[in-house]
Amino acid sequence: MERIRKDDQVKVIAGKDAGKVGRVVQVLRERDRVMIEGVNYVKKHQRVQTQSGTTEGGIIETEASVHVSNVMPVCPSCGEATRVGYVYETEGDRRSKARSCRRCQGTF
């Protein structure tokens, strides 16, 4: 179980966008990185594609990924950036593992 999942609200704690809050769009598990909506915009220089004729050239602003260690999930119940703990919940004869907030002990 990972501590950050798709559609989580996260806060950037390090880097040029420190303090920004956004929603996780994509999790790149093999590279330990996440794509966050509205965070880490970079400028990319792109050449004109003459063969297909569909792509324009110029300077394009696009979102880049952020390393997982530079973000913290935001707890939905207390609204604060927090570390993640795990709680085992029992439902009859079944046990399930759930993420929990280290500040308020709420699950998310």
User: What pTM was estimated for this model as a whole?
Assistant: 0.81
Tokens, residue 56: 């324009």
How far apart, in whole angstroms, are the C-alpha atoms of residue 103 and residue 96? 21
Radius of gyration of the chain (CA): 18
Amino acid letter at 107? T
Does the structure show a pLDDT above 60 at 51? yes
Percent of the chain with pLDDT over 70: 96
15-30 pLDDT, tens digit each: 999 999 999 999 999 9
- Reduced to 3 states (helix: H, G, I; strand: E, B; else coil), residue 30 is helix
Q: What is the per-residue pLDDT for 38?
A: 94
Q: Are 6 and 87 in contact (CB under 8 A)?
A: no
Q: Residue 94: its pLDDT value, please?
A: 87
Residue 1 has pLDDT above 60, yes or no: no
- Chain CA centroid to CA 1, Å: 15
Domains of the chain, with CATH numbers?
1-74 (2.30.30.30), 75-108 (no CATH)
